[in-house]
Every structure is written in structure tokens, then in C-alpha cells.
Amino acid sequence: MAASFATRAPGEGFNAWKVPGSYFDAIVQVTGDSSYPTGGYAFGATQLNTLTGGAFSMIESVEVVGPWASSTPTLFSAYYNVSTGKVQAFGTGATAGAAVAYLEVTAATNLSTFTCSLRVRAH
């Protein structure tokens, strides 16, 4: 099973991916799966083209605009790793009285109820 990607419905007015010569600029929501892969979920031009039906040659930027959140009180930070082209999940390994470590979620963690939001700009 893999993470699912979906564009958030655009608001009224400007729709960047329908204007010739413009950048695609939209919010993409990522929902995890039941077994987080080591290193994160792949997200690049191939996944964006599949998602939108576009023909984008490169992703200009990806900004995290929402953490991995769920209806539970647990929350993970989202991070887009430019060098690997993957969306990752991080959390704290806090022990009372000790320094707080910021660690990637371990492989096989169930993130199926967690969704993060990315602002993607491509051309």
C-alpha cells in the first residue's frame, strides 16, 4: 500500500495550471498508509503528472503548509526532502528530563489516519 495524493479543490478565480506559461501552484494533501516506508513517500514530477493529468517537467518548490495530523492527539512534523524527492514524517523521542530528539518515524508505522498538506509549484 502507498500514500495517497490529492489536490485540494481550488478556490474561486485564478487556477494556475490552466494558464499557458504559468506555474502550477496548488495545495496537495498527502494521506499516509498503514506501513510508512523507510525514508518517506516518493513525490516528484511523475507523481504530480499522474495526480493532475499535467505534463510538468520539474517541481520548482514544495513547502509544507500543514503537519501530519489526525483525529488523535498525536501529531508529526512533515518535511519534503529535496535531495531524495520524498515526503517524510518526524516526531520527538522525548524522555522526561532528557534532551529532545527529533527523529524520523520508524519504518512500518501506521500513518493511514494522518494527512499533511504541501504547497507545490511546478512547471
Q: SS3 for 52?
A: helix
Identity of the residue numbered 46? T
Q: Which region, left, alpha or beta, applies to residue 13 given φ > 0 means left and ψ of -120 to 50 means alpha? A: left
pTM of the full structure: 0.80
Task: Render pLDDT for 33-83 as a digit per residue (tens, 0 to 9).
Answer: 999 999 999 999 999 989 888 888 889 899 999 899 888 888 899 999 999
Q: Is residue 14 pLDDT above 50, yes or no?
A: no
**Mean predicted confidence (pLDDT) in 77-105:** 83
Q: Are 80 and 28 in contact (CB under 8 A)?
A: no
Nine cell digits for residue 68 = 501530519
**pLDDT given at position 41:** 96
